[in-house]
Structure 1
Amino acid sequence: MILVAAVAACWLLVALSPLIVRLTGRFAGWPLAGGLLAVLGIVLAAGSGGPGVRESVPWIPALDIALRLRLDGLALLFAVVVLGIGAVVLVYSSSYLRQPRSPGFYGLMTAFAAAMLTLVLADDLVVLFVAWELTTLCSYLLILRSGPQARDAATRTLLVTAAGGLALLAAVVTVAVHTGTTDLTAALAHEAWRQDAAFAGIVAALVAVAAMTKSAQFPFHAWLPDAMVAPAPVSAYLHAAAMVKAGIYLLLLFAPAASHSPLWSPLLIAVGLWTAVMGAFFALRRGDMKELLAYSTISQLGLLVAVIGVGTPTAMLAASTHVVAHALFKSAAFMGVGLLEKRTGTRLLSELRGSWPALRWDAAMLILAAVSMAGVPPLLGFISKELLLDSFLTAGPAAVSWMLALTATAGAVLTVAYSVRMILPLLPGRRAADARVPEGVAPWRTTRTMSMAVAVPALVGLFGGLAAPVLDPLVVPAAAVAAAVPASGVSGIYLWHGVNAALILSVTAILIGTAVGIRTRGFTPAARAARFSGVIAVQRAQEGIIAAGRRVGDLTRSDAPATNLVVPVALIGVTAVGLPTLWRGWPRYDEPFLILDFLLLLLVACGVIAVAVATRRLTAIIAVGVAGFAVVLWFLVLGASDVAVTQLLVEILTVVVMVLVLRRMPRRFPRVRPARRAGAVIAAVAAGCAATLATLVFTGHREISDVAAFFLREAESLTGGTNIVNTILVDFRALDTLGELVVLAIAAVSITVLLDARQAVDRSVPRPASRTLASARANAVILRTAGRLIAPVMVVGSAYALLRGHNDPGGGFIAALIGAAAIALIYLAAPSDEIPRIERSYLAIAGAGIVVAVGTGLLGLLDGSFLRPLHIDIGAVHTTTALVFDLGVYLAVFGVILAAINRLGLSPSDEPARRERRRHTRSPERSAR
């Protein structure tokens, strides 16, 4: 499991980064870089064992989702780029950062490296998507922490890249459903790509959109220059060498399968070449070196996208080689610009002229990176550029091929031009009169670590061009995987390709581009606000989405329940229009209609009508209770004892809570206009008719559903329990129950926060003068006497219902309701709000329920799956961890009800005095201790 070990080691490095930063301070980049290089060593050792290494660790067996990892030529290429460049950038950061300790920065940088490594090694669609989203999140956080000015840019970046994540999610779901597997290798080799043109076209488009958002292709390109507010290490790693390469990797990965769609190649070639020319043109117009490099990155990525669209083995070799060359010269360039800015205080081309005497070595390394970017021999950038041009020349018919090649050459001309503009101010020469390089340039010794880091990728780009065949073991297998051909079908790379059309076009681009660069060397773009740009488009889209969400929210932004219910009630009523088309005749009923059914239905109807016409809140609560208890009786008649008991307890506690709330509200409902009342009656009747019709349409036409039959047939043998309802809650659908427990805990927190943050108005119902209401203590004597007898019985019954729930009516939810009812009885029997006996930490109780439930779920991992119950025999007693999970249900439900009783049951006017009395009561005890 060497690949699993590599990924685990990388994530372990993330976990250890805060400790490493604490121990080493700003120099944490060195040990973290060593950690990444160690992980790279593990990956290279795995790759030495032969092609196609695959490993798998079960994750969600029921859905056939696993931590599947694969190391082929393509994954190895990107792993080397991610880990190698990452190590260099971390060393650079140790000198670049001004703060002595930056745990957040180093943690996020290593987390990004780990996420990228997981992405390129992933052999499962779900793992691929999770890693993809992790890179998006890390990028957002790294930009965001750059300062207050970076907030808007980070948000815009997240908006664009997250939209691409949604496209990838749609592609992942479509592929998994259509092929029947999340195994990436198996899914990409499925016959559906060849046989189903619609499927291939949809997935190809979705994958292309996802990749283009990540790789900043038109029209999603604006986020990359916008993200340049991040510091130089972030730009050098995420936005030049690694993150933007995630989109390129995705295209190369899906290319063999997606190329079966006729949409794939034209889309990639058209968008890629347009982006290449557009990005290069924008770069030529920039006077800020970092902005120039940002648009340059867009242009270079466009060439990569276009050549992947060509899809031939030569094209894939060109793409693989250019991935390496681009990572080297662009990371060196971004780090070099950051270094110049540190030493001179500027990165504007106009202010750097004549800076050679003070920046000899650093300027030379930056020039070396720019020359490679321009594609000048003998650097690696020249080799990859010639391969790109040669790929376009052999892309198809002669006319089409030459059109593509000439378009790429136009982009290359602009590339040389902006590279020359970047180089000229750094060359030896007289300092211009208007140059504003500070006289006091920071000494080299203070930035020597940064200089060394810049030199590494710059010199590797030089030696990689001189000894190009050394890179064959890295780029040839990657190209073979992307082209779906054997490695023997891909030729190697070399510096001299002979005199051919590609060389002529390359030399032409260098000559014309140099002339253009010299001609525009003094060009300074006008400082005027653009009326429209990509950033403005993204900002307007963001503002439009927020405004639309605000308008939708305004429809129900009210405290009135009627306002919030009008939309769902109206929609339910509208659905009645389409239900007659689904009518399948009257449902079959084997049981005769009893007079008792009619009486209970009449009782429910009377309760509902009484609620609708009530003018007093207390009357409405009583009527709600009548309807609820009638439903309880109906459940009992139908034989649903579990549901009946639950409904009974819920009704009791609901009435208690509503009475507590009633004290804070007016006695009467506000008056409603007749027209509004008529509209509410119409909506309610329409919704009721729709619900009734839907019940008749969708139920009663079969004896039992397949799912219900499965539960009845298999529940006891699979879970050991005979209470089907309880086994569904704590065994089969325990994850749903866990989510509901979290909601309950949040409800308890919300009740507490709401009543603590905003004092409620005490609007107790005025009490008329009566002898029966004169003494609360005397009036509560009956409840207190009964409570002393009944409450202990209810507590015991609560425990009994919990323990028997797996086989008989009961369970954690019902047991918690019984226990809470005992608490409610104790509370109602008390003559005042001072009830120390039930003042417990209800939030801790609810939280303990979540902890117990999650802990039980983790125990299930011992048997291979989260929340899988473990069965244990203690003597002659058979038990299961589902009982412990049910205890978590009990605690969560009990905690939220206890919160409601405690917080709503207190009189707001009495609470300050009550807290003061409790503080004075506890003070003597603390003093004695």
Structure 2
Amino acid sequence: MLVASSAILLITTLAAPLATRYLGRGAGWLLALPLALTAVLLGSSGAWEAGSEINEVVPWMPTLDVGLALRLDGLSLLFALLVLLIGAGILIYSTRYLGAKGRHGSFYLLMTAFAFAMLVLVLADDLVLFFVAWEATTLCSFFLIARSGPDAREPAIRTLLVTVAGGLSLLTAVSIMAVRTGTTRISEVLTHPFWQDEPGYAMAAMVLLAVAAFTKSAQFPFQAWLPDSMVAITPVSAYLHAAAMVKAGIYLLLRFSPVFAGNDVWTGMLVISGLITALFGAAAALRRFDLKELLAYSTISQLGLLVAMIGVGTTESLTAAVLHTVSHALFKSALFMLVGAVDHQAGTRDIRHLAGMDVRMPLTTVTLALAAASMAGIPLLLGFVSKELMFTAFLNAPGARPIVFALVGAAAIASMLTFAYSARMVLGLRTGTSGPVVREASPVLWGVPAVAAILGLVFGAMPAPLDGIIGSAASAASGEVLDPHLALWHGWNAAFAVTLVVLTAGTLLVVGRRRVEVLLAPMNLPLSGLRAVDRMRAGTIALGGQMGRLTGTRSPWVHLGIPVVSLVGIAIAGTIGIRELAPAPAPRSQPADWVLVGLIGLAVLSAIRARTRIAAVVVTGVVGFSMTLWFFVLGAADVAMTQLLVEILTVCVMVLILSRLPNRFEPASTRRRIGAGTIAVSAGLATTLGVWALTGRREISPAAEYLITEGEAVTGGSNIVNTILVEFRALDTLGELTVLGVAGLAMAALLRSRAPSEPLTAELVEETPLTDGAANSVFTRTITRVIGPGIILFSLFLLLRGHNEPGGGFISALVGGAGVALLYLSARSDESAPIRAPYMGLIGAGILIGIGTGLLGFIDGSFLAPISIEVAGTKLVSSLIFDVGVYLAVIGVIYAAFNLLGTRRPTDADHVTPVRTQP
């Protein structure tokens, strides 16, 4: 059921662009249907009863004990119904709010994705899955805000920065809980003795979870992003405030309340932050003339009261928090949609401008007054029931009486201000003035919010039908089985007395609203949350720029010096720290080893003495080819082939670069030679010391022994090197593949923005064969026509056989790259080189194939898990597809190198113009 519900919303999300293409803005009707049906499916599950739950698990990453674990209890059911039903209503509302003409595909795609992410979040019983869904809601909100126009860019970025900071806090908490408990199941984490046995880690996780919730639910000091996000269109704001992102933080706090309730630090953080937020938001709302901005600050205030209720932690306060969550979702979704209807018809949301209009919207006004009355806590409405329960919980809160009175007083003041700004909204829609006439909106624009407002009236007058779902949700939040009995009237008691005081004081504020406006107008705080976010962002960018200036240099000394100094430091630390070494292995050197060592030594000395760049490249190549021979002697055929091909291609690329550099090195000063020699000798000594101390002094490791003895049985491949790369350590290879692709993109970006200098030409005698490149390369072109296709076919042969014999994606791509180099060398000219290939597309395709193969592994339960099938007696494995991705990415980078480094500018001549001299 739970997996099916999630799948329904995922399919709805994927179908949204197609539905919008054919139905336009009317696609909202069709897309709302799956949400409503999913709500019915979950509502009929039987999770209404306190203590009952449904669990479903789909393996995801079984080796890490991470799965798509879903759980439906009373708390997750309540939030799921809010997400689905309010989401369905807003999608229907959007069918008339959006313009008849326009592209709305991205809107419906993101809104349904938002609903899908929120549903997964509230159903998740796995910490990793919960975090992924949490971040998905962040991204959905960012894109929904950002698509609202050019003025939305900065608010969207500020929203993203704050909520991503909360995501990092949540990630840290998830890591602590997963490591210390040994499980990622939320239900198991909540009951683990870790919370009592390790108070330090428990405290850290608690604070980090609270910070994550505060950023998501706009609690002090992270409240600034929520009003800033009001640049988004009304359906987005309605969903975000009533049932989506801000409710994710409330859900997180309620979900972990069974562990933290009663903890003094938890109570202090939530109550203090919640009440400050409630008072600030209410006071700020009373100063606003824009109805949508007023609602944004009212959301901050109401969320603050919810956080304070959760912080108190008693069964009464948690029940009040759950009930007020429902009440807030109903009246806030209705109010946002109704304000959107007013804006849609009048073209403004400003109370001052509406005062000059003849607003003839009776149905919208009555519905808005009904929803505002619930927000104000007027009797007969659900807001009254939830707030009276809140006052009861606060009055019965544990602790010293002065603290309890302060708690009740702060909540009462916030509620008085709530009454005042609720009336301010209703009074802003007056009729009978001589200004422009504003007619009633489409029935959809007031009908959908009317359903929510009427539900607030029905459940306010008769709240008993909510006993089951509220009791089940409160039971999950408290860890105890609760059986609340909601009622409109509980008799004359202290809570009702507080309510009367609130209503009386609120009425006085409404009567004296002109004086209140004058009193509040100059009250601007010296600090601004938006300025703080902007300064943090600017400071981070400035710090990055400073670090870039400190480390960004074209000097090889800096680039080589830093890693060499680090290597030497590691060697020194190892020398000091390692007290005892295992016995040195018996000498196993062969005469061929010493011959190759001598050859490498001579090549290194020659490179030091080289005066020209060509000579340096040649003798450095000798080092590489000698290492290739050494690998062959040792029997490492795969590594030797890779080394050989890398050396060949390196020489080809180096030639392209050297053609743009002077032939001879600049003379080096004695000081520079001494410095270079010191760095080189230090690096050599450190490396030698490490090899001597750490190589051959122990038996084969258990991991290596397993790969050698069990690798073929597990993977079906006898080439242990290839099976390690594409199966056992495929994730590492995917990371290297991505790095390679990024290097190719960086090379393309650099060389396209700053073209390389022109190749240097030499003074040539006219009669020499070098003067005519086309004629000089005729033999190479003829040979290439014969062996070129053979090289490409051979590379494909190596690709296919790599699972069992030397070969694989990387080696085969290097062979193909050698074929590309031959094609380039045989071209008539640089500009006619036959290697015009979409190298960026090849790189991207390679990376996408690698990722796609990883996703294919989920069929077997884990990312990058190898899948094998037998076709016509031949066993095919998904790692071959992964190797294809490696092949394409590597060959794409090689194409990029030759295309970007090898070709001249279009204005260059095809041939070198010789200098005419006398023979």
TM > 0.5 = yes
* Aligned partners of 1:322 and 1:381 also within 8 Å: yes
Q: Counterpart amino acid of 2:255? A: L
**Aligned equivalents of 2:262 and 2:509: distance in 1?**
41
Residue equivalent to 2:649: 653
**Aligned equivalents of 2:277 and 2:475: distance in 1?**
26
**Aligned equivalents of 1:690 and 1:392: distance in 2?**
68
Q: Counterpart amino acid of 2:347? A: G
Residue equivalent to 2:914: none
Q: 2:477 aligns with which of 479, 482, 503?
A: 482
> Is 2:883 the counterpart of 1:886?
yes
Q: Counterpart amino acid of 2:638? A: D
Residue equivalent to 1:707: 703
**Aligned equivalents of 1:749 and 1:647: distance in 2?**
24
CA drift at 1:585:
3.7
Residue equivalent to 1:457: 452
**Aligned equivalents of 1:691 and 1:773: distance in 2?**
45
Residue equivalent to 2:38: 39
Which deviates more from structure 2 when the two are superposed, residues 237-246 or residues 149-158? 237-246
* Aligned partners of 2:359 and 2:430 also within 8 Å: no
| Alpha carbons of structure 1 residues 676 and 421: separation in structure 2 relative to 1, 3 Å | farther
Q: Counterpart amino acid of 2:714? A: L
1:743-754 equivalences under 5 Å are 743-745=739-741, 747=743
| Alpha carbons of structure 1 residues 423 and 584: separation in structure 2 relative to 1, 3 Å | same
Q: Secondary structure at the match of 1:46?
A: coil
Q: Counterpart amino acid of 1:167? A: S
CA drift at 1:590:
2.6
1:5-20 equivalences under 5 Å are 5-20=4-19
Q: Secondary structure at the match of 1:521?
A: helix
* Aligned partners of 1:583 and 1:697 also within 8 Å: no
Q: Deviations over 1:513-552 (max 9, x none)?
A: 3223432335156589875311111111111111111111
Q: Secondary structure at the match of 1:578?
A: helix
* Aligned partners of 2:824 and 2:834 also within 8 Å: no
Gaps of 5+ in 1: 432-437, 915-929
* Aligned partners of 1:201 and 1:258 also within 8 Å: no
Residue equivalent to 1:495: 488
* Aligned partners of 1:201 and 1:262 also within 8 Å: no
1:649-798 equivalences under 5 Å are 649-669=645-665, 679=675, 681-696=677-692, 698-745=694-741, 747=743, 759-769=755-765, 771=768, 773=770, 776=773, 798=795
Residue equivalent to 1:151: 153
Which deviates more from structure 2 when the two are superposed, residues 608-617 or residues 291-300? 608-617
**Aligned equivalents of 1:197 and 1:833: distance in 2?**
69
* Aligned partners of 1:421 and 1:518 also within 8 Å: no
The number of equivalent residue pairs is: 903
Residue equivalent to 1:541: 536
**Aligned equivalents of 2:873 and 2:422: distance in 1?**
82
CA drift at 1:138:
0.9
- TM-score when scaled to structure 1? 0.89
* Aligned partners of 1:248 and 1:305 also within 8 Å: yes
* Aligned partners of 1:201 and 1:264 also within 8 Å: no
1:209-608 equivalences under 5 Å are 209-259=211-261, 262-353=264-355, 358-399=360-401, 400-426=403-429, 439-444=435-440, 446-486=441-481, 489-521=482-514, 523=517, 526=521, 532-586=527-581, 588-592=584-588, 597=593, 600-601=596-597, 603-608=599-604
Residue equivalent to 2:140: 138
Which deviates more from structure 2 when the two are superposed, residues 130-139 or residues 570-579? 570-579
**Aligned equivalents of 2:273 and 2:121: distance in 1?**
24
CA drift at 1:634:
3.6
Q: Counterpart amino acid of 1:30? A: W
| Alpha carbons of structure 1 residues 371 and 568: separation in structure 2 relative to 1, 3 Å | farther
- Identity of paired residues, percent? 48
Q: Secondary structure at the match of 1:729?
A: helix
| Alpha carbons of structure 1 residues 716 and 450: separation in structure 2 relative to 1, 3 Å | same
1:128-207 equivalences under 5 Å are 128-207=130-209
Which deviates more from structure 2 when the two are superposed, residues 586-595 or residues 88-97? 586-595
1:886-905 equivalences under 5 Å are 886-905=883-902
| Alpha carbons of structure 1 residues 521 and 378: separation in structure 2 relative to 1, 3 Å | farther
| Alpha carbons of structure 1 residues 7 and 686: separation in structure 2 relative to 1, 3 Å | same
CA drift at 1:176:
1.7
* Aligned partners of 1:29 and 1:93 also within 8 Å: yes
* Aligned partners of 1:666 and 1:763 also within 8 Å: no
Q: Counterpart amino acid of 1:896? A: V
* Aligned partners of 2:48 and 2:469 also within 8 Å: no
| Alpha carbons of structure 1 residues 502 and 834: separation in structure 2 relative to 1, 3 Å | closer
Q: Secondary structure at the match of 1:68?
A: strand
Q: Counterpart amino acid of 1:36? A: L
CA drift at 1:740:
3.4
CA drift at 1:787:
6.4
* Aligned partners of 2:242 and 2:333 also within 8 Å: yes
The root-mean-square deviation of aligned C-alpha atoms, in Å, is: 3.3
CA drift at 1:130:
1.1
| Alpha carbons of structure 1 residues 135 and 31: separation in structure 2 relative to 1, 3 Å | same
CA drift at 1:201:
1.1
**Aligned equivalents of 1:28 and 1:535: distance in 2?**
36
CA drift at 1:97:
2.0
**Aligned equivalents of 2:791 and 2:20: distance in 1?**
56
* Aligned partners of 1:47 and 1:72 also within 8 Å: no
Q: Counterpart amino acid of 2:809? A: G
Q: Secondary structure at the match of 2:68?
A: strand
CA drift at 1:375:
1.5
Q: Deviations over 1:97-121 (max 9, x none)?
A: 2352422222211211111111111
Q: Secondary structure at the match of 1:555?
A: helix
**Aligned equivalents of 2:256 and 2:663: distance in 1?**
67
CA drift at 1:300:
1.0
CA drift at 1:242:
2.2
* Aligned partners of 1:17 and 1:103 also within 8 Å: yes
| Alpha carbons of structure 1 residues 636 and 359: separation in structure 2 relative to 1, 3 Å | same
* Aligned partners of 2:217 and 2:246 also within 8 Å: yes
Which deviates more from structure 2 when the two are superposed, residues 466-475 or residues 82-91? 82-91
Q: Deviations over 1:638-663 (max 9, x none)?
A: 44332222112211211111112222
CA drift at 1:368:
2.1
Q: Counterpart amino acid of 2:443? A: R
**Aligned equivalents of 1:791 and 1:122: distance in 2?**
55
Q: Secondary structure at the match of 1:59?
A: strand
**Aligned equivalents of 1:864 and 1:100: distance in 2?**
44
1:810-829 equivalences under 5 Å are 810-828=807-825
* Aligned partners of 1:215 and 1:245 also within 8 Å: yes
* Aligned partners of 1:378 and 1:466 also within 8 Å: yes
| Alpha carbons of structure 1 residues 26 and 247: separation in structure 2 relative to 1, 3 Å | same
Residue equivalent to 1:625: 621
**Aligned equivalents of 1:912 and 1:39: distance in 2?**
68
Which deviates more from structure 2 when the two are superposed, residues 511-520 or residues 223-232? 511-520
CA drift at 1:630:
3.0
* Aligned partners of 2:86 and 2:333 also within 8 Å: yes
CA drift at 1:326:
0.8
Gaps of 5+ in 2: 912-919
Q: Deviations over 1:426-457 (max 9, x none)?
A: 468x86xxxxxx8223311x433212123222
